Amino acid sequence: MKNWRLIIVSILVATLILSACATATDKPAVEEPEEADVPEPEVEEPAEPVTITLWAQATVTESGPPPSDWIAYDIILEELGIELEYTIIPPSGDGETKLNAAAAANDLPDLFQITSTTDAKNRDNLHTYYELGLLAPVDDMFDMMPVRTETHYNNEILIGMVTFDGQIYGLPEPPIIPKREGFLIRQDWLDALGLEAPTTPEELLEVAIAFTTQDPDGNGQNDTFGMGGFIEGPGLGRRFNYVFGAYGVLDLWNFIDAGNFGLNVRDPQYYEAMQMMIQLVEADVIDPDWPTLSKDEFRARWKQGRFGIMWEDFAALTNKSNYEPFDKNFPEGTWTPLPPLTGPEGEAYYGLYEGKFQIFAVSQAAVDAGKKEAIARLLEWIATDGYYLLGFGEEGVNFNLDADGFLTLDGIDPEQAYNAPERQPYTQLRNQLVFYNTLAEISARYPNYTTEFSGKSMTPIDTYLSFFQAQNWVEGFAKKLIPAADNAADFERFYNEGLLQFVLGQKELTPEAWAEYLEGLDNLGAQEYEAIATEVLQEAGMLP
Amino acid sequence: MLKTKTRGAFSFQVGIAIFLTVALLIVVIPFWRVIVTAFIPLDVYTREGVPFFLSPTEWTGEAFKQLMTHSQFPRALWNSVVITVLGVAISMTLTIPLAYGLSTRDMPGRKLIMGIILFTYLFSPGLIPVYLLITGMKLTNNYLSIILPPAVSVYNTLIMTSFFEELPVELKEAARLDGANEFQVLRHVILPLSKPILLTIGLFYAVYFWNQFFTPLLYLNKNELLPLPVLLRNILISSSLNEYVEYNAFSTSAVESLKAAGVLITMIPMLLVYPWIQRYFTKGTLVGGVKE
């Protein structure tokens, strides 16, 4: 009996040890002897495949990487002579730590995505790696990949952002779908109360009060608020863009008036915008948890019908996973996009468009190993022959193309469809290295559909995205060039907390208190920070 | 006088009871909320948020189903089990002899060794030197990169040393007189008497390795090697970024439910182990943690 126990335990331990010690390999173990048995070819020996290590985020992190028998690996090997080793790195701070550790050990992969918490930080990190001599300039790669350069690397501003001392050290991928967020209102609530959509901040207040006090959902309960939001971005964040845009003071920096560049809080209209926000808060028309809500909680609340005015991403609003619960709770509910409010001085700006984008870089070690040309070959292939394969899968199996070149799922097995959950591992690189926002691409990603409960026709692009993109946005690409302040943590804390204190009534907003607040910012180096920002933008040719 | 004393003692007991009740509630209420959130149906969540109590007829295990039916879940679970079992085995194999040696007061160089060990406790080498060491040893994409660096915990070693020191020296001497060498003393005399500390320290190590998240992110580049906490985090990141993802992955559970279910899934194995060794656990931490 004891012997049996010993044998079983030994087998288990041996299994565990083997599992633990085995280095992961993509190739089945049986392949090696087969390769050894293959006789030496008499024809000219093909060149050894070049191994390229690629670290990039996943588009759908939960779906995992493509399997080792992914057809793309074989095609890349056969057609390009490249053995691709793709590693998914986590997004945000975790990925940044992983990259930094590899950088510190001079162990960066050949081609990698810069990962951090913000775009500005991405650029800072790229600059750090450049200063450490870890990056290779990529200027000469553009001629090696003409199609990709035309479709992906055609934005001079972005190229400027990855250029240091006259040489380009990053490959700035096209921004995610631009100007994708917007100002929305519950049309069914407006109709129920016989109201018109607001066009000014004052009308916004009136509508918000009505939504809060007149039971717009007709359930007989006092359970609604006019507006919802949460803090996302500097100050009070961009979820209240529709208020600040009416005063021409969106975000941290004033990009509207190039001749008057500086912190927006110095603009007298910022004071007026703050007064408006205070009126809204004091009227109790904003879901009161807004200063502490997370994005997920905010989204749960519009699905619960908690408020009727908000700022939201078009895809977050319309994708099935978010819209279906709302549709089920409120079959008559409709979110209508609105143009910007017009402020007292006639200003009507929608939002600040910063152009969130990804940066890829090539390590100096890869170039030293003679891999630059192979990397360019791979990237060009992704933009040409490999575009559909890496973006959507195989034509005829995972999608079809109609006469206009748009993707269709007609005749495709639903489980094999490019947008089926099972297919996500095969297109993990699509948001990182493949897509560049053509209409066909966006239509494939956000198709029209009929809602399950109310039977409404949902048209994400026509109804929402196109409308949002047509509004009066402020071009804020230049923001990415501005480095963080030396005392960024202190500065940001004082800036954010000060504004919040005024809005929440913890500090009365008076001209004296406001002047004191501005003085506090100056004591933290605001003027010097503005001077640095101005100089940087002037050097980049973005300010006169 | 006696009455006053009795009344004072009673008031003290009541005060203690109130304090402990409040402390218990502080722990239990958030935990209860996590449980409710994990089992809340999507339509209830989207209709009214998270109630304090869930109707017995309105609950669902959908969030657990979504996480546990994920294609990578079995593999990630197995990976976590491998890391935990092997980690505990290696750690205990290294910690026990070290602690035994240090508990032997007449061991040559004992103070020096103790000083070296304490030095590593006070001054951590930091991330980059360890990363260089791991990559230099070619241990990336190998579970040993997760298991070896923390294999000997100074804290656990000191507790175990303290426990061993409390055992009667006469037992060891008797065994030596009978001809036992040090290994035999450890194997046949010390370890049978040390179940509480072995199980306690084993649990400490098990919890540590089971919760491993950061080091797998650093050293394991192959997804098929990632343990459960990393997979769960990946799933949750995806669900929070659903505006950038087109397919309908999470239509039957709220993001908050998935998060709560993820917390419970990672907690449950350890919670199941704990009651079995609780009686040893208290004794082990008390005896090992007290230095006379």
Task: List, for residues A297-316, the tens digit of each pLDDT value.
Answer: 898 889 889 999 999 999 88
- Give the pLDDT confidence score for residue A24 in this predicted structure: 41
A122-131, A209-218, A291-300, B174-183: range with highest mean pLDDT: A209-218
- Give the pLDDT confidence score for residue B21 in this predicted structure: 95
Of B86, B237, B255, the CB nearest to A17: B86
Q: What chain A residue is nearest to B44 in terms of C-alpha separation?
A: A304
Q: Which of B243, B256, B257, B258 to mutate to test the interface with A (most CBs of A within 10 A)?
A: B243
- Using CA atoms, how far apart are residues A533 and A476, in angstroms rounded to an integer? 13
Q: Say if residues B251 and A321 touch (Cβ distance below 8 Å).
A: yes
pLDDT digits (tens, 9 = 90+) for A97-119: 889 989 988 889 999 999 877 77
pLDDT digits (tens, 9 = 90+) for B116-125: 999 988 888 8
Residue keyed to tokens 């479709």: A151
Q: CA A471 → CA A228, A351, A436, A464, distances in Å?
A: 21, 9, 21, 11
- Using CA atoms, how far apart are residues A538 and B17, in angstroms rounded to an integer? 68
A&B contacts, CB < 8 Å: 143
Cβ distance B223 to A88 less than 8 Å, yes or no, reads: yes
Q: Is B222 on the interface with A (CB under 8 A)?
A: yes
Q: Which of A104-113, A252-261, A444-453, B42-51 has the lowest mean pLDDT?
A: B42-51
Residue keyed to tokens 């003027």: A527
Q: What is the mean pLDDT of residues A33-40?
A: 42
Q: Which residues of B touch A446 (CB under 8 A)?
A: 246
Q: CA A282 → CA A197, A289, A317, B285, distances in Å?
A: 22, 14, 28, 55
Distance from CA of A104 to the nearest CA of B (A): 7
Confidence of residue A58 (pLDDT cuts 50, 70, 90): confident
Backbone phi, psi, residue A365, to 5°:
-60, -35
Cβ distance A316 to B47 less than 8 Å, yes or no, reads: no
Q: What is the CATH superfamily name and number for domain B63-289?
A: MetI-like (1.10.3720.10)
Confidence of residue B66 (pLDDT cuts 50, 70, 90): confident
Q: Is B246 on the interface with A (CB under 8 A)?
A: yes
Q: Which of A218-227, A489-498, B65-74 has the lowest mean pLDDT?
A: B65-74
Q: Which residues of B touch A319 (CB under 8 A)?
A: 242-243, 245-246, 248
Confidence of residue A28 (pLDDT cuts 50, 70, 90): very low
- Give the pLDDT confidence score for residue B245 in this predicted structure: 53
Q: Which of A18, A132, A301, A321 to mutate to test the interface with B (most CBs of B within 10 A)?
A: A321
Q: Which residues of A touch B130 (CB under 8 A)?
A: none
Q: Which residues of B touch A88 (CB under 8 A)?
A: 223
Does the pLDDT value for residue A248 go beyond 70?
yes
Q: What chain B residue is nearest to A424 in terms of C-alpha separation?
A: B247
- Using CA atoms, how far apart are residues A289 and B240, in angstroms rounded to an integer? 19
Cβ distance B143 to A21 less than 8 Å, yes or no, reads: yes
Q: What is the mean pLDDT of residues A262-277?
A: 96
Q: Which residues of A touch B244 (CB under 8 A)?
A: 59, 176, 315, 431
Q: Is A1 on the interface with B (CB under 8 A)?
A: no
Of A19, A58, A88, the CB nearest to B82: A19
Confidence of residue A41 (pLDDT cuts 50, 70, 90): very low
Residue keyed to tokens 């193309």: A401
Q: Is A445 on the interface with B (CB under 8 A)?
A: yes
Q: Residue A214: is it exposed, middle or buried by C-beta count within 10 angstroms (0-12/13-18/19+)?
A: middle
Q: Is A296 on the interface with B (CB under 8 A)?
A: yes
SS3 B172: helix
Cβ distance A105 to B135 less than 8 Å, yes or no, reads: yes
Does the pLDDT value for residue A295 go beyond 90?
no
Q: What chain B residue is nearest to A98 in terms of C-alpha separation?
A: B218
Q: Is A59 on the interface with B (CB under 8 A)?
A: yes
**ipTM above threshold 0.90:** no
- Give the pLDDT confidence score for residue A25 in this predicted structure: 40
Distance from CA of A508 to the nearest CA of B (A): 34
Cβ distance B46 to A325 less than 8 Å, yes or no, reads: yes
Q: Is A77 on the interface with B (CB under 8 A)?
A: no
Q: Please give the order of strands across the beta sheet that includes A307-313.
A: A225-227, A307-313, A181-186, A335-338
Neighbouring C-alpha atoms within 13 Å toward the C-beta of B7:
4
Does the pLDDT value for residue B281 go beyond 80?
no
* Domain residue spans of chain B: 1-60, 63-289
Confidence of residue A505 (pLDDT cuts 50, 70, 90): very high
- Give the pLDDT confidence score for residue A1 in this predicted structure: 46
- Give the pLDDT confidence score for residue A300 in this predicted structure: 84
- Give the pLDDT confidence score for residue A287 in this predicted structure: 95
Q: Is A97 on the interface with B (CB under 8 A)?
A: yes
pLDDT digits (tens, 9 = 90+) for B77-106: 999 999 999 999 999 999 999 999 999 888
Strand partners, A395: A399
Does the pLDDT value for residue A516 go beyond 90?
yes
pLDDT digits (tens, 9 = 90+) for B194-226: 988 999 899 999 999 999 988 998 898 887 888
Helix (H) or strand (E) segment spanning residue A98: helix A92-104
Query: Domains in chain A, please, with CATH?
Result: 46-177+356-437 (3.40.190.10), 181-349+474-539 (3.40.190.10)
Q: Is A176 on the interface with B (CB under 8 A)?
A: yes
Cβ distance A21 to B142 less than 8 Å, yes or no, reads: yes
Q: What is the mean pLDDT of residues A77-86?
A: 95
Q: Which of B19-28, B49-58, B162-171 has the lowest mean pLDDT?
A: B49-58
Cβ of B61: how many Cβ atoms within 10 Å? 12
- Give the pLDDT confidence score for residue A458 in this predicted structure: 94
Cβ distance A320 to B222 less than 8 Å, yes or no, reads: no
pLDDT digits (tens, 9 = 90+) for A191-222: 999 999 999 999 999 999 999 999 999 999 89
Percent of the residues in chain A that have a pLDDT greater than 70, as a whole number? 91
Residue keyed to tokens 């143009």: A339
- Using CA atoms, how far apart are residues A356 and A218, in angstroms rounded to an integer? 40
- Using CA atoms, how far apart are residues A538 and A232, in angstroms rounded to an integer? 28
Cβ distance A64 to B235 less than 8 Å, yes or no, reads: no
Q: Is A409 on the interface with B (CB under 8 A)?
A: no
- Looking at A194-310, list the stretches that DSSP marks H as alpha helix, in order from N- to C-terminal side: 201-213, 241-244, 268-282, 295-303
